[in-house]
Amino acid sequence: MLDKAAHENFPVAPFFLPRAWRTDLMAVYGYARLVDDIGDGDLAPGGADAELLGLDRDRAGDALAMLDAFEADLHRVFQPFGEPRHPLLAALRPTVHRHGLTPEPFRGLIEANRQDQRIRRYATYQELLDYCELSANPVGRLVLGITGTASPERIRHSDAICTALQIIEHLQDVSEDLRRDRVYLPAEDMKRFGVTEADLAAPRGGARLRALVAKEAERAAALLNEGTPLVGSVHGRLKVLLAGFVAGGRAALRAVAAAGHDVLPGPPRPTKLSLLREVGATLRREG
């Protein structure tokens, strides 16, 4: 999980945070990452996760069965005397009880991955936003819960940032998603720009696809701008962490733009230097 955290666009639990926060943020990240791995079929070979959840090893490839078993194990996290089967859920339990976290954000992430098994195309941008409400926004709400800073306005800003980060990740991973038979570019936008799924399977993006990616990147940038006041609403090390989330999105968008919005040869990734520059710029704007 630590290795996967290092490859995210944003800092998950950087060193400058209090140790307790780092522990709790990594517990939440581990949960979210494992749910995604179940939904994507990326679990470690051998079926150990299925066995931990009380399933036969031969059911490790059944994503819906795994998600159901994982949700049942999640229920044990919230029971006063529950003892989760899976070690990542056992590690999550102290975090949940220490901060009084509710089950809803965790269940939202499971439901997003169930949706990934049933829905592989999105007709409209609004449908994609509705998906992000399940797949991304719960993570930001959990960060606010862990840091004790949740409020209706902060949640609204956090949702905008998290949705933007999810859309940016989809833009970076167009080719990988297509290999999984998933397309997160809205069909209405593909039609408007004259882009077909055959265009997504090409080794390089043509002019129409690059124009479409630029449009979706513009939308993501607007969402980041909408959510950025969250950074100015907090103080201290939390301010730097949240600036890192925003900066990660902006640096990734710059990397996409630097690639000419051609995301097909491979995910355009920001450098650490560009991320640091964006963190500084975000803190100056929201200081």
Task: Decide if 112 is inside a domain.
Answer: no
Q: Say what the pLDDT of residue 11 is.
A: 62
Range of the domain at 73: 13-101
Q: Are residues 263 and 137 in the same domain?
A: yes
Asked whether the whole model's pTM tops 0.75, one would answer: yes
Tens digit of each residue's pLDDT, the chain (287 residues): 545 544 555 566 677 888 999 999 999 999 999 999 999 998 888 889 999 999 998 888 899 999 999 999 999 999 988 799 999 999 999 999 999 999 999 999 999 999 999 999 999 999 999 999 999 999 999 999 999 999 999 999 999 999 999 999 999 999 999 999 999 999 999 999 999 999 999 999 999 999 999 999 999 999 999 999 999 999 999 999 999 999 999 999 999 999 999 999 999 999 999 999 999 999 999 87
220-249 burial, b for 16+ CB within 10 Å, e for fewer? bbebbebbbebbbebeeebbbbbbbbbbbb
- Point out the domain boundary residue: 69, 101, 133: 101
Do residues 275 and 251 touch, judged by C-beta distance below 8 A? yes
Q: Are residues 199 and 75 in the same domain?
A: no
Pairwise CA distance, residues 192 & 213, whole Å: 12
Q: Are residues 75 and 141 in the same domain?
A: no
Q: Are residues 95 and 142 in the same domain?
A: no
Q: Say what the pLDDT of residue 10 is.
A: 55
Do residues 224 and 241 touch, judged by C-beta distance below 8 A? no
Tokens of 185: 């570019």
Q: Say what the pLDDT of residue 5 is.
A: 42
Q: Are residues 130 and 95 in the same domain?
A: no
Task: Decide if 229 is inside a domain.
Answer: yes
Q: Say what the pLDDT of residue 137 is.
A: 98
| Number of residues in the chain | 287
Query: 236: phi > 0 → left, psi -120 to 50 → alpha, else beta; which?
Result: left
Structurally, the chain folds into a number of domains equal to 2
The secondary structure of residue 212, as a DSSP letter, is H
